[in-house]
Structure 1
Amino acid sequence: MEYQVREFINEKYTKAVNILKDNLKENYHVFYGVRLSEILFPASEYGTDAFFKEFELINSVILPLVIFDLTQRKPMMIISFDKIL
């Protein structure tokens, strides 16, 4: 099999990640390309149509840069150079 390596992170996001890593305190971490469904979960009852509709919506959103607080264990900021939704 032959494969082609895709560009995982473009130049402007690489620069942003490096700037953030150099300037954030050690209890913060920068994640790249996280699906919103990794952070949010629908509040609707599991198995209902509403749940699956909400899940499909949040699962379709990819967050370019997420600044995550490792102490509080929650996202603190989302950074994007383009429209997310």
Structure 2
Amino acid sequence: MPEGVVVFVKVKLSEFLTPIAEYGTELFYQDFLELNNLTAPFLLFDVKNRKVEKVITFHNDSKKQTTGELRKILEICQIPLIEVGSIAELYTLTLFENKED
């Protein structure tokens, strides 16, 4: 894990993402509710750049709709979504490329 990247567990997307609609409008409120209804199982956050780097979720057939909604929002925000089958699978993933100078 690169320096300055922290992992948050079970966080609402509304804690890290804000709607682009004007604050106080009905559209802002609707977008906020949509963000607030989605939880990221694992969220990798770069504290230096103050941005979400990746979201990790579990492949779960019973929650396909929620995963689809999460994917749609993350694609709009250009945030990669990684689906894994188990926690053990996380140990084999390369989440960040090593850049050696």
- TM-score band w.r.t. shorter chain: 0.5 to 0.7
Structure 2: runs of 5+ lacking an equivalent: 70-101
Task: Specify which of 43, 58, 64 is matched with residue 41 of structure 2.
Answer: 64
The normalised TM-score by structure 1 is 0.63
Runs of 4+ deviating beyond 2 Å: 82-85
Deviation at 1:26, TM superposition (A): 2.8
Q: How does 1:1-85 map to 2 (within 5 A)?
A: 24-82=1-59, 83=64, 84=67, 85=69
Number of residue pairs matched by the alignment: 62
Q: Which has the larger radius of gyration?
A: 1
Structure 1: runs of 5+ lacking an equivalent: 1-23
Question: 1:29-69 CA deviation, whole Å, 9 max, x = no partner?
Answer: 11101111111111212222111111111110111101111
The share of aligned pairs that are identical, in percent, is: 39
Aligned CA-pair RMSD: 1.4
Q: Structure 2: how far apart are the matches of 1:75 and 1:46?
A: 21
The normalised TM-score by structure 2 is 0.54
Q: Structure 2: how far apart are the matches of 1:25 and 1:49?
A: 39
